[in-house]
Amino acid sequence: MKYKRILLKLSGEALMGDKQYGIDSVRLDQYTHEIKTVKELGIEIAIVIGGGNIFRGVQAENLTIDRVQGDYMGMLATVINGMALQSALEKSGLYTRLMSGINMEQVCEPFIRRRAVRHLEKGRIVIFGAGIGNPYFTTDSTASLRAVEIEADVVLKGTRVNGVYSADPEKDPTAIRYEKLSFDEAYSKGLNIMDLTAFTLCQENDLPIIVFDMNQPGNLLKIINGSVDVGTIIAN
Ligand code: UDP
């Protein structure tokens, strides 16, 4: 196995599956299965989940909701997704903890770094909800920050596409998938992989990012096994 401790970033939108809004149970079960397969190999797994399927801070401006208020709403949305994922994982027999960047003891633990690491060492899957707990950040930045904090080996960004392409593969048939990119190459090519805060944090802390298609069954396992057939790795 190439990685021992991973930080898996799942977008909230991915949880919608074919629905227009909310959480799709088929997709949730599929993710649970993928995660369980990897967990059974003894990999330590931390997960950051987005909230875009429920609420996104930038939406707020169209609803005459203050941006900061909207961002907090977005953070709460990630907790709802985290609770759904936690339930699905536990139903499949896995041990989990949901830790939040905003204190809400009735539903989840507060994020305490040392405690998060201890949970991982004990084999629990740790889900980080409520982003970093501050407005004007994203769940991608949360993924990078938490990954650095818990000393994960890699950030795995699960998306709908099989990695980073030279052009939009749905529009341009000549688009090629990059197997590997350096952070500098990704900057100079103007590739929009994660927001810059998230990206810079990974680069400065020498933390590789792998972008891959999480919706394709078996991909997560392939990545863990170090396969170069799926995804794109961005590393120094
Ligand atoms: N958010 C925030 N601070 C954080 C993480 C998230 O303010 O540390 C808010 C922000 O408004 C964001 C929303 O939560 O739009 C949902 O997260 P995101 O859009 O990153 O989720 P995804 O696109 O991955 O579903």
Task: Give pLDDT tens digits along the chain (236 positions).
Answer: 889 999 999 999 999 988 888 999 999 999 999 999 999 999 999 999 999 999 887 777 777 899 999 999 999 999 999 999 999 999 999 999 999 999 999 999 999 999 999 999 999 999 999 999 999 999 999 999 999 999 999 999 999 889 999 988 888 989 999 999 999 999 999 888 999 999 999 999 999 999 999 999 999 999 999 998 999 999 99
* pLDDT at position 167: 87
Q: Is 200 in the pocket of ligand 1 (CB under 6 A)?
A: no
Q: Is 48 in the pocket of ligand 1 (CB under 6 A)?
A: no
Please give the distance, rounded to the nearest whole angstrom, from the Cα atom of residue 41 to the centre of ligand 1: 31
**Spatial separation of the C-alpha atoms in residues 226 and 96, rounded to whole Å:** 25
* pLDDT at position 62: 77
Q: Is 57 in the pocket of ligand 1 (CB under 6 A)?
A: yes
Please give the distance, rounded to the nearest whole angstrom, from the Cα atom of residue 17 to the centre of ligand 1: 19
**Spatial separation of the C-alpha atoms in residues 226 and 153, rounded to whole Å:** 12
Q: Has this prediction a pTM greater than 0.85?
A: yes
Closest-lying ligand 1 atom to the alpha carbon of residue 12 = 25
Place of tokens 């990685």: 3
Please give the distance, rounded to the nearest whole angstrom, from the Cα atom of residue 106 to the centre of ligand 1: 22
List the domains of the chain with CATH numbers: 5-234 (3.40.1160.10)
